[in-house]
Structures are given as C-alpha cells and as structure tokens.
Amino acid sequence: KAGVTQTPRYLIKTRGQQVTLSCSPISGHRSVSWYQQTPGQGLQFLFEYFSETQRNKGNFPGRFSGRQFSNSRSEMNVSTLELGDSALYLCASSPSVGNTEAFFGQGTRLTVV
Amino acid sequence: AQSVTQPDIHITVSEGASLELRCNYSYGATPYLFWYVQSPGQGLQLLLKYFSGDTLVQGIKGFEAEFKRSQSSFNLRKPSVHWSDAAEYFCAVGDSNAGGTSYGKLTFGQGTILTVHP
C-alpha cells in the first residue's frame, strides 16, 4: 500500500507570492492533517480535515488555508508569503475521524526568499 | 491546553548501550501518547503508541515505552542502540474531547536528537 504522498518535495517562492501544497493520503484514509516544522517553533498543528470539512485548526493566521476533496486528497495554501513561512510542511493521514494514529508523508520543504 | 516536554535536546550514546529518552506531558483527560522518529530531510515514522491498557507498549525497531500516569511520563527505551537509530525523536500527545473521543491534532515535544558513537 502506498504511503502518504506530498508534492512538490521542494519549493522556492518569493515574498508576497502564494503557494499551494498537495497531499494524497494512504488509500482508504479519510482524515488529513497538516503540520509546520521549523527549527525555532518545532512541529505545530495547522489544521485537520475529514470528509471535506475542517474539523480542527491551529493558531495560524488566515493566510494559511486548506481544503479536502471528495477523494480525500488535500491541499493547503499560503497566501502573501513571508520569510517566516519557510519550513517543512508535513501532511499526515489517519484511517478515520477520532483515530490519531497518524502516518506522515515526506514533507514539502518551502523556502521563501 | 495540552503540552509535551522533552527535557533532553541532545543525547549521545555508544553503539550497544541502552537508551532512555524522556517525555513528560500535561493533559487533563485520558492521554493518547506517541513516539515518532525523524531522519534528516524525512517525514515522521511512528514508533509506538499508547491509547489504554497495558502501560508498557512495544514498538518497532526494538523500542518500548512505559506510561506512568502518576509521573505524567511516557519514556522511550531501547536495550541496545544501533548506529542506524541516530535520528531525532518526538513524543506527542493526541487531542481528545471531554468524552475521550480523539481528534486528529497532535501536540509534539521539541524533540531529542540522538547521536550514536561507534
């Protein structure tokens, strides 16, 4: 069974631009969560989606948004990029709602210049 | 709000030596606890989890962890470390509502970097 797939793996963007990251969960998994990992703040929860609905959201500004499609694939978008948005963005999938056994993808390394 | 503390930022051990990584959590309800490992440039791999029941849980790669409610701890152990165990280790607590139903949010500790000397 294929794992969680995140695309692209690496991305370089300029301040002020926007970016969209993609995540394909493990087949049959319906819950997708996103995390931001930086050296200073560590791993921080962004949001969780289940059945195309956002169920939980972390303490991030409104520039960070996401969505989930009917096939459980998810995207996250960051608008008006800032230098501080440079991070590894990790996606995790879980079999169902209420199951926190999360399986992580390799991540997307975003660099904002 | 829940929190996780990993007191040791960096630990160095010799290959073949035993290992214990510390984790303390703060959580008001029944905790769902996890240990993940991350190699450089990679995602997180689940080592083991505790939801309920036996307080000593076995994981992959020869790791185990013991849940101690009285100490709010969930320390990770391995009797004999291999060079391939060098990585960063994260303890995490899963979110749940008052009724004990878990959600997808994980709160992570700051991580412990493990270096293994030959």
First to last CA, chain A: 37
pLDDT at B52: 81
Alpha carbon distance A65, A105 (integer Å): 19
Residue of A nearest to B48 (CA): A101
pLDDT in tens, A82-96: 999 999 999 999 887
Instruction: Look at B48 and A101; give whichever has higher pLDDT.
Output: B48
Alpha carbon distance B116, B118 (integer Å): 7
pLDDT band at residue B105, thresholds of 50, 70 and 90? confident
Whether residue B46 and residue A102 make contact (CB cut-off 8 A), yes or no, is: yes
Whether residue B108 and residue A107 make contact (CB cut-off 8 A), yes or no, is: no
Q: What is the mean pLDDT of residues B87-108?
A: 77
Residue of A nearest to B91 (CA): A43
Reading the block at residue B100, the tokens are: 């004990």
Alpha carbon distance B3, B104 (integer Å): 15
Whether residue B46 and residue A33 make contact (CB cut-off 8 A), yes or no, is: no
Whether residue A90 and residue B44 make contact (CB cut-off 8 A), yes or no, is: yes
pLDDT at A101: 79
Residue of A nearest to B41 (CA): A106
pLDDT band at residue A13, thresholds of 50, 70 and 90? very high
Which residues sit opposite B21 in a β-bridge? Answer: B76
- Does the pLDDT value for residue B67 go beyond 50? yes
